[in-house]
A and B are shown apart, each in its own frame.
Chain A
Amino acid sequence: MMTYIVFILSVIFVIGFVGFSSKPSPIYGGLVLIVSGGVGCGIIMNFGGSFLGLMVFLIYLGGMLVVFGYTTAMATEQYPEVWVSNATVMGVFLLGLLMEVMLVLYVLKSEEVGVVFKFSSVGDWAIYDIGNSGVFSEEIMGVAALYRYGAWVVVVTGWSLLVGVLVILEVTRGD
């Protein structure tokens, strides 16, 4: 099972995405997003990116999703929609699940899936080790490189985030 762990995690990932794309109430969407985020973190860690996985948990789940949860809790309605509450949501959820199951069976049966890309075999999802020199972790060096060689990217993305906040405040201000 360990060779297929990435495949299994990615299937859970996609099912999670189907769960919130079928648009229940945002509270339930956030719940599924927590699960998907954790599973995605597991996928990254299986490829050796332990630092990035930690970042996902800390910043994404522990920062952004917490803020999202609080704001949604302030704006929620009395009976939020669940997946089984109306036919539309349940229909979309079941359709997504069905498509995912069919894709999984197709991947497991034939050795390759060539829809847009070519997934060569299920073995491709197996774990590869990162080329660790063993002396220092390469992810921390990546973060250092981000602030040195990628300083312009940091400036641009920081500016985009600031303008994003200003835009959201401006849009929700009303009159």
Chain B
Amino acid sequence: MNPLILTIILMTVFLGTMIVMASSHWLMIWIGFEMNLLAIIPILMKKYNPRAMEASTKYFLTQATASMLLMMAIIINLMHSGQWTITKVFNPTASIIMTLALAMKLGLTPFHFWVPEVTQGISLTSGLILLTWQKLAPMSILYQISPSINLNILLTMAVLSILVGGWGGLNQTQLRKIMAYSSIAHMGWMAAILVYNPTLTMLNMLIYIMMTLTMFMLFIHSSSTTTLSLSHTWNKAPLITTLILITLLSMGGLPPLSGFMPKWMIIQELTKNSSIILPTLMAIMALLNLYFYMRLTYSTSLTMFPSTNNMKMKWQFETKQITLLPPLIIASSLLLPLTPMLSILD
């Protein structure tokens, strides 16, 4: 793409999310969402194959429907409260419709069907932007309306998302689909704690973004989009193999790594609110996630995966520059000792 056009479009994606996060008028928030959607379509369609076009069309249709539902909820809110500020949604109907619209934008069950198909159809860098940056705007709106969200709907969607995210990822060998199902499951964890303690949602979002960023950077470096091609990284860059191991275990939520911090805090917060069965179920369903991360690490770093002899030596292309990899690795694996710092957030 022409560099000037690419700059303008990336700037508009950034501006759209910033407008959503910084506005206090519902109409401006809706404009921000639309600007974001409009500007990310050419980024999703960077390669001109029919797969990418189909993925962009699916993304556009689902997000536009969600924006329309959001607009309807905004107007119902206006009708019943007479004002446009974002502090509290006064009408339960408007609140439910708004929650459903934002869940469609995030990819929570039962609106999760677009996430694997769109992520699979686009390039790795576009998938990175889709799964990290695009989650910021809807989550910030959910954070702001969190006092008035209907608890039953949100918790149902959250638990079903964790289940679908774990279960759906089990049979996948394509890395982008695996990351998509992982995103669905993590969004479920974030939505579950939103009503009880929204700060933990933001913490989970932060750590999830760092881990997903790391994983995508590692995939882009080894140019691998399937499990099979990822399993050849021991040949070209053994250090990348180790980093994949550590980051995947962190995504699965295993203790000494920083991915454990959000899950621990969320389970603690849920039990403080006297719900025991729910966090137990959530923790058990996170095991499904851990299973397919473990399978990736097994084929990549723990064993030399079987392959034909002429595939054992990878062609040595010019090494790609990975942006910011060392800080990302440290942030996605070593942050657990900083947990007591969360006490300043009260």
A interface residues with partner B (beta carbon < 8 Å): 116-117, 153, 156-157, 159-160, 163-164, 166-167, 170-171, 174-175
Contacts and interface: CB of A to CB of B under 8 A. Distances in A.
A164 B48 CA distance: 19
Contacts of A156: 19, 28, 31, 35
A94 B49 CA distance: 38
Chain A interface secondary structure, helix, strand, loop or mixed?
helix
A171 B38 CA distance: 11
Given A163-B9, A163-B38, A167-B39, A174 B31 contact: no
23 contacts: A117-B76, A117-B79, A156-B19, A156-B31, A156-B35, A157-B31, A160-B31, A160-B34, A160-B35, A160-B38, A163-B8, A163-B9, A163-B35, A164-B38, A166-B5, A166-B9, A167-B41, A170-B1, A170-B9, A171-B41, A171-B42, A171-B45, A175-B48
A129 to B, nearest CB: 21
Interface string B9-37: 10010010001000000011001001100
Contacts of A159: 12, 15, 35
Interface in B71-110: 76, 79, 93
A119 to B, nearest CB: 12
A159 B35 CA distance: 9
A171 B47 CA distance: 10
A142 to B, nearest CB: 15
A69 B39 CA distance: 25
Contacts of A166: 5, 8-9
B150 to A, nearest CB: 16
A175 to B, nearest CB: 4
A174 B42 CA distance: 11
Nearest to B75: A117
A175 B41 CA distance: 16
A167 B34 contact: no
Contacts of A164: 38
A117 B39 CA distance: 34
